[in-house]
Structure 1
Amino acid sequence: MRALTGFWLTTPHPELAIRPGETETIPLTLRNSNLPPQRASLEVSGIPDGWKWSVKGGNREIGAVIVPPNAAEEVKLELTPAPAASGASVPIDVKARYGNETADLPLIVKLSDTSSAGLELKPELPGLRGTASSTFSFKVELTNKGAEENLINLAANVPEGFQTRFKRGYGSEEITGLPIEAGASEDVTLEVTPPRSAPAGRYPVLVEAAGGGANASAELSIEVTGQPEVALTGPQERLSGEAVAGEEASFPFTLANSGSAPATNIELSATPPSGWKAEVEPKRIDMLAPNATSQVNVKITPSERAIAGDYMVPVRASGGSLSESAQFRVTVNTSTMWGAAGLGVIAAAVLVLGMAVMRYGRR
């Protein structure tokens, strides 16, 4: 299948209702698929006299946008009809000129009576910041400005792989909508959970409400910060090894950072059983980049009196909020010298017993 190639200017709702004198924010998305970076100049036509409008990006008025290959840029068109505006509908045209081409987006704005239904979404905080393992909770006030009670349906537009759910107030039950009386407001909570593999960056979240012939939307954003994730593996990716009582044994460990941010100031240590010795080299790693590994040598000397068997030696890596521990099993074998000495003692005892039998057995 051939990859889709082109440049588009889109919006979720090309037909919408606005009350005269009130400002409506219309989200616009410029998407570049498999083309070189495109500089798109934005033009808006069809705005009636007395209306106010502006195109904004990052809360600033803009006239052009550069869209990298296989990426999308979000901007918004703010429209404020004149307080005395009238008419059934107003056609407005938004164009994005890139190179010798033009992406055209026709809009239809219907002027709603001040007594007709209306919705308003007011987020407490428009942006939140956290790691990829965080759950981002937005508190949003939803107001029914209509003259009748309506069932308001809720939806959230998030990047692929992100999970969302709505709750009423600070409750625990998930909802998809709720009834709101005329002129009343309700608090809803939108929870957004990014995938654990989400790279660091800013991600747009569009929350939408619709019901009773009216709709409203609010633009939110979450900033995912990088997070280190370290893991310790033993020799040949095993967490076991053998040692001889009283003799030093060396075990090569690997410390890996599979996270999206560097791991810094990592302290390394090992906790052996009583009477044993353990040493880790190096004892400290200043920085381990994402997707990087570092070799760590763990030297363990069992006690000379250690009985043959299995013993656990925890090996730890910690620094800041990081804490990783690997339980390393050491199988202790007794020294061959002590085995030979034991055989010598047994042989001597047998020899003495034999000589005694030969000497006294003749009597």
Structure 2
Amino acid sequence: MLSALPFNRFRLSGRFAFFFIIFFAPSLATIAQPLNEAKAGPSAFTAKLINIEAATNEVFRYSTTLHNGTKKQAIYELKATLPEGWVVSYKVEGNQVTSLNMDAGKSQEIAVEINASANASPKKYNIPLKAVSANDTLLLKLEAVVKGSYGVAMNTPSGRLSEEVSSGGHKDLQLEVKNSGTLALNNLELSSQLPSGWEVRFEPAKISKLEAGKSVTVTAFLKVPDKTIAGDYAATFSLSGANANTQLAFRMFVKTSLLSGWIGILVIVLAIGSVYYLIRKYGRR
């Protein structure tokens, strides 16, 4: 009986090793696999999304990956064939680059940002990118779909940007808001930058939707506080939305109110009259 124990232990150890190989060997292979991925596969220039739609004043952003599948270190120069007036930039970890020095079997993520020209027509554009090394040229074909343009303008109906207002008075200003782009604008809000104590109310204060080429009139009800010193003041009205914004600067000339002027004249007359009376009464003594 005692002589059988080593044999039984050997059988148990063999079974344990057998089950260990069956159940744990695949897991170990999975863990080790990423370590070998960097050296596996041919060289390639790929993108997560090759087709992006945006307006002309928005940035087309692509997330790309460059892989050096060779067994040697290589320098890749990044090039693009763009429509006239378009601009491209390449960024690695936030830094703008034009070429990369890559070790053998390594991959590098590259952020590609493309800006369309302001007059780009709404359609699909093919954007070929190349990563060129001494021994290889990798091609990546991107697509940029221009859906139109966003734009907004604000002015007065007459084009006049200066007004007069009395101290302590009110002034109603007419503002014309126009969609100067080819795409509809949503949720435009008006705000202001005024001298201390001044107040303004817009009607309407928010434009829910403004179609391309359309205009809407907004009234700014301006109130100047009492005892405002006469002179020139700057008032800025801002229009902001998710896709477009603009500003309009006004020059406001504050003048003394008519009532205040008459009160001042009356005070002066009373002062002169009082002096004259005192001279007449006590001057002879």
For Structure 1 versus Structure 2, the TM-score category normalised by the shorter chain is 0.5 to 0.7
Instruction: Describe the shift of the 1:128–1:332 C-alpha distance in structure 2 as closer, same or farther (beyond 3 A).
Output: same
Partner in structure 2 of residue 265 of structure 1? 187
Secondary structure of 1:265's aligned partner:
strand
| Structure of greater Rg | 2
Deviations 1:84-112 (A, max 9, x none): xxxxxxxxxxxxxxxxxxxxxxxxxxxxx
Instruction: Describe the shift of the 1:322–1:156 C-alpha distance in structure 2 as closer, same or farther (beyond 3 A).
Output: closer
Partner in structure 2 of residue 162 of structure 1? 86
Deviation at 1:221, TM superposition (A): 1.4
Deviations 1:3-40 (A, max 9, x none): xxxxxxxxxxxxxxxxxxxxxxxxxxxxxxxxxxxxxx
1:143-292 aligned within 5 A? 143-145=68-70, 151-167=75-91, 169-170=92-93, 172-176=95-99, 178=101, 181=104, 184-187=105-108, 189=110, 191-195=112-116, 197=118, 198-211=120-133, 214-226=136-148, 228-233=150-155, 237=159, 239-270=161-192, 276-292=198-214
Q: Which has the higher contact order (CA 8 A, sep 6+)?
A: 2
Instruction: Describe the shift of the 1:300–1:125 C-alpha distance in structure 2 as closer, same or farther (beyond 3 A).
Output: closer
Equivalent-residue separation in structure 1 for 2:99 and 2:227 (angstroms): 67
What letter matches 2:108 in structure 1? D
Long gaps (5+) in structure 1: 1-117
Instruction: Describe the shift of the 1:346–1:297 C-alpha distance in structure 2 as closer, same or farther (beyond 3 A).
Output: same
Contact preservation (8 Å) 1:265, 1:286: yes
1:137 and 2:69 are equivalent in the alignment: no
Percentage of identical aligned residues: 24
Contact preservation (8 Å) 1:249, 1:300: yes
Partner in structure 2 of residue 356 of structure 1? 278
Equivalent-residue separation in structure 2 for 1:320 and 1:163 (angstroms): 23
1:343 and 2:268 are equivalent in the alignment: no
What letter matches 2:223 in structure 1? T
Partner in structure 2 of residue 7 of structure 1? none
TM-score between the two structures when normalised by the length of structure 1: 0.54
Please identify which structure carries the higher helix content: 2
Contact preservation (8 Å) 2:60, 2:144: no
Please identify which structure carries the higher strand content: 1
Equivalent-residue separation in structure 2 for 1:173 and 1:342 (angstroms): 67
Secondary structure of 2:165's aligned partner:
strand
Equivalent-residue separation in structure 2 for 1:269 and 1:121 (angstroms): 47
Instruction: Describe the shift of the 1:139–1:334 C-alpha distance in structure 2 as closer, same or farther (beyond 3 A).
Output: same
Deviation at 1:357, TM superposition (A): 2.1
Partner in structure 2 of residue 301 of structure 1? 223
Question: Alignment RMSD, CA only?
Answer: 3.5
Instruction: Describe the shift of the 1:291–1:180 C-alpha distance in structure 2 as closer, same or farther (beyond 3 A).
Output: farther
What letter matches 1:172 in structure 2? N
Equivalent-residue separation in structure 1 for 2:90 and 2:62 (angstroms): 10
Deviation at 1:148, TM superposition (A): 5.8
Deviation at 1:351, TM superposition (A): 2.7
Contact preservation (8 Å) 1:266, 1:319: yes
What letter matches 2:150 in structure 1? P
Deviation at 1:312, TM superposition (A): 4.5
Deviations 1:275-331 (A, max 9, x none): 655333333434333354433332323233333234454433344465545454432
Equivalent-residue separation in structure 2 for 1:213 and 1:275 (angstroms): 70
Equivalent-residue separation in structure 2 for 1:214 and 1:353 (angstroms): 102
TM-score between the two structures when normalised by the length of structure 2: 0.66
What letter matches 2:97 in structure 1? E
